[in-house]
Amino acid sequence: MKFFVDLDLLQLVESPGYRNPVQTVRMKRGDGASLELRFYRGTEPVTLAAGALIKFGAKPVGDYTGDLIVESSDFILSSADPVYCATLTLNSDALNALIKPAGGPEKSEITLMGEMTWRTTGLPESTRTFSIIVENDVIREDVTFFGKSTASAFGSDGTSIIRCVIRSSLLSQADADAKAKARSIELVNSIAAGGQEPARYLYQVRSYEERLLRVLYETGYWAGSLRPPIEIARITENRYGAEVLNANSVMFVDVDTAPEIPTKPDSAEDKSTAPLISEDAANSLLDAFCVENPAFGFRVYKTFAGMRYICTSGQFDPTSKTVKDIFIRLNADQSYRALCKIQKCFRARLTPKPWRVIGLNGDRTCFRRMDFSNVSYTEFRLSYLTAIEGHSTCQYQRSVGNPIAHPSCLQIIAFHDTRTKSSTALPLA
C-alpha cells in the first residue's frame, strides 16, 4: 500500500505533483499490509533527516484520547527513491471487537481516523487526519494468533533460568499471550524446582533464543552510502548445535519422503508430520505446479529424509496465504509450515544433525542446549565442526520451471549451496 505525503500541505495526496488530497483509504481485516511511504515537496522527493521516527496510527472516529487500534512504527529507509517501508497487522483484539461487538451483529466494515506522524528534530509533524475504512474479511480460514512470553527464575544454586515460550490460539491474541505467559512461568518454576527440560524441541515452544552466528545483508547496498544495509537472513545455532539459515523472504520448502528415524518409524522421536510421499510423487507435484504457474521456478535438493526446494522467482511473506497455499500444494512438512509462520521466516538447516555424524547410534537425548561458555560445549563444537567436513546437508538435483532467478534470491542461494556442500557427492546427514 503506497502513501504520498506533501510536506507543504501536510496532507496525503494521490501522487507527486497532483495535490488532490487523499481523504479515505480502504483496507481489509486480517491482511498483513506492506506500507510504502514517500515524502515530497511538489514533485521533488524528500529524504527525512537521519534517525527520523515515523508512525502510522488509527483510532475509532471521535476517540481522540483512547489507544490506537491499528499502528506501525517500524519504518525504515529501504531504497534511493527514497521510500520508507513498514508492515501493518490488521488482526488485533481491539479491531476485531469493533467489527464484531459483544452482543451485536458482525459489521461488514468500520471507519477509523488515521494519521501519519514523523519526528526529526524538535516537535513532531503530522498529516491531516484521513479516514480508514476497514472491510470485514469474507473468507476467514485458519486464522491463528501467536503469543510470545519470556519468564525467569533462580535455581537452587543461584543460577538464572530464562526461557521463552510461543503459544498459539484460534480465539484471540489475548488468549495466545495468556497461554504463552502461563507456560513460560510454569516452565521456569519447574526447572528451578529440579524438573527436567522438555525432552525435545517443539515447534510451538521455544525454550530459548537461538544463538546468533551471523547476519547476511544485501550485497552492495552499503557501498558508497550512509543508508543502513538491508538484512536478508540470519544464521543461528539451534538447540542441538546445527547451523540454520533464517531467510526473511526467499522461500524454502521442506518435503518429507522418509521417516526421521528409518529404523524406528513409530518412535515418538519421529518428527515427520507430512504425510510422507515418495520422491517421484514429490517431483510430480512440483512439476505440475510449475506447469500451472509458469512464473515460478525452483531449485530442487535431496536431503537425508526428503526434499528441499528453493523458490527462485521472487520474495515472499512467510505468513501469507500465498505461501500457505504453496506449502499445501507441494505437500510441505506440516511442522515446517507452522515454524515458518510462527517465526516469520523461511528456515533451512545448513549443517548436519550431530547424531548423524558423531555417532551415538542415533541417540538424540544427549544433544541438549549447553552453556556456550562451558568447556563441554566448546569440546562438542570442535568435534562437531570436524565431523561435518565429511558430510553434506543436501545435494542439488535439478532446476524446474522459470529459469530466470530473481536477483534477491541469488545471494541466499550462493550462501546456502556453499555451506551445505550441495554440489558434492559427500554422504547426506
Cα–Cα distance between 16 and 23 in angstroms, integer? 16
Instruction: Write down the pLDDT at residue 366.
Output: 45
The arithmetic mean of pLDDT across residues 405-427, rounded, is: 92
Instruction: Write down the pLDDT at residue 205.
Output: 39
Helices (H), 318-359: 321-329, 334-343, 354-357
Tens digits of residue pLDDT in 263-313: 333 334 434 444 578 899 999 999 999 999 999 999 999 999 899 999 999
Cα–Cα distance between 154 and 156 in angstroms, integer? 7
Instruction: Write down the pLDDT at residue 262.
Output: 39
Cβ atoms of 253 and 330 within 8 Å: the answer is: yes
Tell me: pLDDT of 352 over 90: yes
The arithmetic mean of pLDDT across residues 170-179, rounded, is: 73
Q: Give residue limits of the domains in the chain.
A: 2-135, 145-192, 211-420
Q: Choose between 74 and 3: higher pLDDT.
A: 3
Instruction: Write down the pLDDT at residue 272.
Output: 44
Tell me: pLDDT of 171 over 70: no
Q: What is the CATH number of domain 2-135?
A: 2.60.40.1930
Q: Choose between 277 and 137: higher pLDDT.
A: 277
Going by pLDDT thresholds of 50, 70 and 90, the confidence category of residue 207 is very low
Q: Choose between 378 and 169: higher pLDDT.
A: 378
Tens digits of residue pLDDT in 11-26: 999 888 777 888 898 8
Q: How large a percentage of the chain has pLDDT more than 90?
A: 34
Read off the C-alpha cell for 367: 544433544
CA neighbor of 314 nearest in space, from 236, 415, 426, 404: 404
CA neighbor of 241 nearest in space, from 362, 125, 366: 366
Tell me: pLDDT of 128 over 90: yes
| Cβ atoms within 10 Å, residue 294 | 9
Strands in 193-339 per DSSP E: 211-217, 231-237, 243-247, 252-256, 297-303, 306-311
Tell me: pLDDT of 52 over 80: yes
Poorest-confidence range of 99-113, 120-134, 142-156, 247-261?
142-156
CB neighbour list of residue 215: distance below 8 Å, 6 or more residues apart: 231, 233, 234, 235
Read off the C-alpha cell for 412: 541466499
Tens digits of residue pLDDT in 22-48: 889 888 876 556 788 999 998 899 999
The arithmetic mean of pLDDT across residues 189-211, rounded, is: 62
Read off the C-alpha cell for 217: 545483508
Instruction: Write down the pLDDT at residue 351.
Output: 95
Cβ atoms of 283 and 257 within 8 Å: the answer is: no
Poorest-confidence range of 8-17, 214-223, 369-378?
369-378
Tell me: pLDDT of 373 over 80: no
Instruction: Write down the pLDDT at residue 221.
Output: 47
CA 78 to chain centroid, in Å, comes to: 18
Poorest-confidence range of 209-218, 228-237, 366-375?
366-375
Instruction: Write down the pLDDT at residue 54.
Output: 93
String of DSSP letters for 179-217: HHHHHHHHHHHHHHTTPPPPSS-BTTB-SSPPEEEEEEE
Read off the C-alpha cell for 284: 510430480
Going by pLDDT thresholds of 50, 70 and 90, the confidence category of residue 163 is confident
CA neighbor of 164 nearest in space, from 198, 187, 141: 187
Tens digits of residue pLDDT in 376-404: 667 778 888 888 999 999 999 999 999 99
| Cβ atoms within 10 Å, residue 121 | 7
The mean predicted confidence, pLDDT, of the chain is 81
Poorest-confidence range of 84-93, 124-133, 254-263, 269-278?
269-278
> Which pTM value belongs to this model?
0.51
Q: Choose between 18 and 329: higher pLDDT.
A: 329
Going by pLDDT thresholds of 50, 70 and 90, the confidence category of residue 325 is very high
